């Protein structure tokens, strides 16, 4: 008995050490590794918001500390009729974020795409103004103090930096941009307000984004940040152009967020760039080269690409507020159906079985070495 008592303290230390090691192993995650640098987010589908898959839900809790809704907060879903709002899923989305102590991002208030059919029929400027005021004020006021940041205006620019001829521009002129930001700020003065777009790391569109934000601010609108969607490719855009964009936007006093990060590994029809959801192309075997699995050589390229991107993000972590992946795992990615339906893409850090890919470890390893 004395012998056992003698070794009890050592046994306790061993058990405690084992528990701590297990605890440490369990808490190794993207969100913990990048804690103090920037939020690591993901976009949630309706099923994920409804917590239909226990394994997916567990992965989301473990790896991410910021969330964006993929679709359910877009106009066609949240405001289906002129006198009707449907907040069923957006309420669940916000509750999900609160329950899991996550940063909650609202996407999106004013966007030319995924409008409800009744919105597309608006031709009169007075009616459009009334719609914008009601839509923005109602939604932002409802989630005042619960949603941490909003994409106020999404994709208002063409790739050459000129204003997109959307239903909003056609009915109201470019004043709609400043009006949208003013309305959002009035509804919730403390929430961060973003302008969000794709390809706005490219020189012409970057310049257009800077001009847009300067004009909005000159007209009295509040803009806190710019969202770079980051629907990128294995070879482009260059790290240099991404860095120039971080520096240029930050120089305006803007927070920089990478809002919809994914990296396509598939051929790009007609060298298509960006994320215009209205473009579609018929498929071919040539355009879907990896229907069953991604070759190791491409896995390695994807890992190297993600590592170079996150190395840059860490270099400028003082300027970056959030990095959000557009989806939790490859099976969920919109890139499986865009711009060609039925392809198999592999753009994220987790595969269809929710297993971390080589790209995941390349991003994690950056935090294992001294910055």
**Mean pLDDT across 293-305:** 97
Q: Which of 1-10, 165-174, 234-243 is predicted least confidently?
A: 1-10
Quote the Cα angle for 82-120-172, to 5°: 95
* Kind and range of the H or E run holding 218: helix 203-218
Print the domain residue range for 196: 37-365
Please indicate, yes or no, if residue 7 is contained in any of the structural domains: no
Q: Is residue 6 part of a domain?
A: no
Catalytic residues: 155, 260
Tell me, yes or no, whether 3 lies in a domain. Answer: no
Position 24 in a domain: no
Structure tokens of 268?
């790009």
pLDDT at position 285, please? 76
Q: Is residue 68 part of a domain?
A: yes
Q: Is residue 96 part of a domain?
A: yes
Burial tier of 297 (Cβ tally within 10 Å: 0-12, 13-18, 19+): exposed
Three-state DSSP class for 106?
A: strand
Average pLDDT taken over every residue of the chain: 92
Name the DSSP class of 164: P
What percentage of residues in the chain have a pLDDT greater than 70?
Answer: 88
The answer to the question of residue 27 being in a domain is no
Is the predicted pLDDT of residue 337 greater than 80, yes or no? yes
Q: Is the pLDDT of residue 99 over 70?
A: yes
Alpha-carbon torsion 52, 58, 61, 67, what sign?
A: negative
**pLDDT for 278:** 61
Q: Please state the domain count of the chain.
A: 1
Examine residue 45 and state whether it is found in any structural domain, yes or no: yes
Scan for tokens 């973003």, then name that residue: 194
At 106, which CATH number? 3.20.20.80
Nearest-angstrom CA–CA distance, 214 and 221: 9
Q: Indicate the pLDDT class of residue 29, thresholds 50, 70 and 90.
A: very high
The answer on pLDDT for 213 being more than 90 is yes
């Amino acid at each position: 008995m004395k012998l056992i008592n003698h070794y009890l303290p050592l046994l306790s230390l061993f058990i405690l050490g084992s528990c701590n090691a297990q605890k440490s192993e369990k808490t190794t995650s993207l969100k913990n590794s990048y804690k103090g640098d920037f939020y690591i987010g993901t976009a949630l589908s309706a099923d994920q918001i409804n917590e239909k898959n226990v394994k997916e839900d567990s992965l989301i809790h473990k790896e991410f500390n910021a969330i964006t809704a993929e679709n359910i907060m877009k106009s066609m879903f949240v405001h289906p009729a002129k006198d009707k709002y449907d907040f069923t899923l957006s309420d669940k989305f916000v509750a999900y974020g609160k329950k899991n102590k996550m940063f909650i991002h609202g996407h999106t208030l004013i966007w030319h795409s995924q409008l409800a059919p009744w919105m597309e029929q608006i031709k009169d400027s007075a009616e459009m103004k009334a719609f914008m005021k009601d839509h923005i004020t109602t939604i932002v006021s409802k989630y005042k103090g619960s949603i941490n940041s909003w994409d106020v205006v999404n994709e208002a620019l063409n790739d050459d930096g000129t204003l997109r001829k959307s239903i909003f521009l056609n009915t109201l002129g470019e004043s709609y941009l400043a009006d949208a930001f003013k309305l959002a700020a009035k509804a919730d003065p403390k929430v961060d307000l973003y302008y969000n777009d794709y390809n706005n790391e490219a020189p012409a569109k970057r310049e257009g984004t800077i001009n847009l934000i300067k004009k909005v601010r000159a007209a009295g609108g509040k803009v806190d940040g710019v969202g770079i969607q980051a629907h990128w490719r294995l070879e482009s855009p260059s790290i240099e152009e991404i860095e120039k964009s971080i520096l240029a936007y930050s120089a305006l006093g803007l927070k920089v967020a990478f809002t919809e990060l994914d990296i396509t590994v598939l051929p790009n029809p007609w060298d298509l760039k960006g994320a215009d959801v209205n473009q579609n192309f018929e498929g071919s075997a040539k355009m879907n080269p990896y229907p069953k699995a991604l070759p190791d050589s491409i896995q390695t390229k994807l890992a190297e690409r993600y590592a170079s991107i996150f190395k840059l993000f860490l270099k400028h972590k003082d300027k970056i507020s959030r990095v959000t992946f557009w989806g939790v795992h490859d099976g969920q990615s919109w890139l499986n159906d865009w711009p060609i339906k039925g392809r198999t893409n592999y753009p994220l850090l987790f595969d269809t079985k929710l297993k971390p890919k080589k790209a995941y470890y390349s991003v994690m390893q950056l935090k294992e070495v001294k910055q």
